[in-house]
Amino acid sequence: MTNPTKASTEGASSFARVQAGMARRRAAERRFKLLGRAAVGIGLLFLAVLLTSIVSRGYTAFWQTEMRLDVVLVADEIDPEGTRLVDTLHKADYSALIKQSLRDMFPEVSSRRDRFALYGLVSNGAAFDLRDRVMADPSLIGTTVSLWVPADDDVDMLMKGHIDREGPEADRRIKDTTLGWIDQLEADGRLALRFNTAFFTKGDSRDPELAGIRGALMGTIFTLVVTLALSFPLGVAAAVYLEEFAPKNRWTDLIEVNINNLAAVPSIVFGLLGLAVFINVFGLPRSAPLLGGLVLTLMTLPTIIIASRAALKSVPPSIRDAALGIGASPMQATLFHVIPLALPGMLTGTIIGMAQALGETAPLLMIGMVAFIADVPQGVFDPATALPVQIYLWADSPERAFVERTSAAIMVLLAFLALMNLVAVLLRKRFERRW
């Protein structure tokens, strides 16, 4: 303030001092605000970097380089006796046919070493694709079929530009001769990036181009079904008891403190519990989704109980009074009047708990859901792995092609998480009630 009349007033001296300090204080204020803004900015930057790094590494995994082969289905090779028995068809040497078709395309390749390299262009899975094709339609035998088979992961990486063509040959996973073949194949239109269905339909594999998340996904689904089936009723029942019926005494205090503490116990400790109690004492099968579900139930239970109690708390006492006032028993008031009103909140809490369980890895490592399992599990007793564990396993694999698959699996996992949280948010919005 630059008011000359100020000089005459009695607060002048202190006011002048205040005025004198203002520049410094405003600067401090700006700095502080800037710090806050920077903090939020850094947080958001972290998020952006994290998501970008995952997506930019992973989106290519949804496409897979495939190679078009013309395979002569020589009847003598597949089914010399012409019986067309399923067993015979199943056992035939299809990879020989595939190799033959490769040799046909590159007749000039003769040395043993080169041929080996040539066969390596195609994935090991190509023979299985061919077999499935033939078994589905045995009349194809004797004809020449043209089919797309997955290319080897190195070819895939090259096509996606992850392998540097110009680098010294010795450091490259693809040598110059092979490069030549690949270029020729590409020029012939025999190499193309196509949508990677195997990623969604197959189980795990040692070969990146054959590895899919179906097995892990089913494992996760079975695990979560068990978790949901156990933790929702248990959690709601516990919350109802603690919030509505429990007397205030030391025992319920103990339960309460205990639940709050359990919510913050590291998840790996629940894994130790599962290992020592469920496997060693009760003899439940290792690696089974049932076991995973039990462990995750114990882990998510505190979350669900705390959320459900909050939901019950938000139902105004007037509802209970109204029910009690017309002669309902406390149990009836709770079951028929309070719980229905609290249900959306409880469901929201449960979904959030499930989302937590979905992303959980450490306890599953403890109970053996970390083994290499190529088969897709069919039930809660089959050995299985889970999506986050699959991510962990793939992240450990040395092949370059697993990096993009890991990122892609992460994208799928994050998509599921986003979906669950979205449902929770919508549920909350839809049923949100202000009393």
Partner 1 sequence: MTQTPVLLVLLLALASAAYYFGCKRAFRVADGRIRNLHSLPGYYGLYVALWAALPALLVLGVWLALQGSMITRMVVASLPEPIQQLGPDRLNLVINDIRNLVSGNIVSGEPDAPTLAAAEYYRSLLGTSRGLLFVVVLSVAGLGGWFGYSKIRPQHRARNGVERIVNGVLIACSTVAILTTVGIVLSVLFESIRFFQAVPITEFLFGLEWSPQIALRADQAGSSGAFGAVPLFAGTLLITLIAMTVAVPIGLMSAIYLSEYASAHVRAIAKPLLEVLAGIPTVVYGFFAALTVAPFIRDSGSILGLDVASESALAAGLVMGMMIIPFVSSLSDDVINSVPQSLRDGAYGMGATSSETIRRVIFPAALPGIVGAVLLAVSRAIGETMIVVMAAGLASNLTANPLEAVTTVTVQIVTLLVGDQEFDSPKTLAAFALGLVLFIVTLALNFVALYIVRKYREQYD
Partner 2 sequence: MSTQGQAMAFKLDAEPVDTQKPTVGRDVRETVGEVRVADPRVRCTDVNVHYGDKHAIKNISLDVGKGEVLAMIGPSGCGKSTFLRCLNRMNDTVRECRVTGEILLDGEDINASHIDVVPLRARVAMVFQKPNPFPKSIYENVAFGPRIHGLCNSKSDLDVVVESSLRKANLWDEVKDRLDDVGTGLSGGQQQRLCIARAIAIEPEVILMDEPCSALDPISTAKVEQLIEELRQQFSIVIVTHSMQQAARVSQRTAYFHMGDLIEVSETDRLFIKPRHQLTEDYITGRFG
Would you say 16 or 39 has its CB closer to partner 2? 16
Q: What beta strand segments (E) does 130-176 contain?
A: 144-150
Would you say 5 or 110 has its CB closer to partner 2? 5
Among 67, 105, 226, 240, binds partner 1 (CB under 8 A): 240
Cα separation, 428 vs 415, in Å, equals 20
Verify binding: residue 433, partner 1, rule CB under 8 A: no
Q: Supply the angle between the helices 94-105 and 112-119 in degrees, to the nearest 10.
A: 110
Verify binding: residue 175, partner 2, rule CB under 8 A: no
Rg (CA), the chain: 32
Cα separation, 153 vs 415, in Å, equals 25
406 binds, among partner 1, partner 2, none (CB under 5 to 8 A by kind): partner 1
Would you say 15 or 392 has its CB closer to partner 2? 15
Q: Which stretch binds partner 2 (CB under 8 A): 10-18, 176-184, 197-205, 269-277?
A: 10-18
Q: Which stretch binds partner 2 (CB under 8 A): 1-9, 115-123, 266-274, 367-375?
A: 1-9
Q: Which residue has the tokens 């040539």?
A: 118
Q: Which of residues 288-307 bind partner 1 (CB under 8 A)?
A: 298, 301-302, 305
Cα separation, 347 vs 358, in Å, equals 16
Q: Which of residues 24-83 bind partner 2 (CB under 8 A)?
A: 24-26
Could you tell me the smallest distance in angstroms from the CB atom of residue 29 to partner 2? 9
Residue 369: count of CB within 10 angstroms of its CB: 30
With a CB cutoff of 8 Å and minimum separation 6, the contacts of 121 are: 67, 102, 151, 152, 155, 178, 181, 182, 185
Verify binding: residue 264, partner 2, rule CB under 8 A: no
Would you say 158 or 305 has its CB closer to partner 1? 305
Verify binding: residue 312, partner 1, rule CB under 8 A: no
CA separation, residue 370 to residues 135, 138, 383, 391 (Å): 34, 39, 10, 10
Among 72, 147, 163, 242, binds partner 1 (CB under 8 A): 242
Residues that bind partner 2 (CB under 8 A): 1, 3, 5-6, 9-11, 14-15, 17-22, 24-26
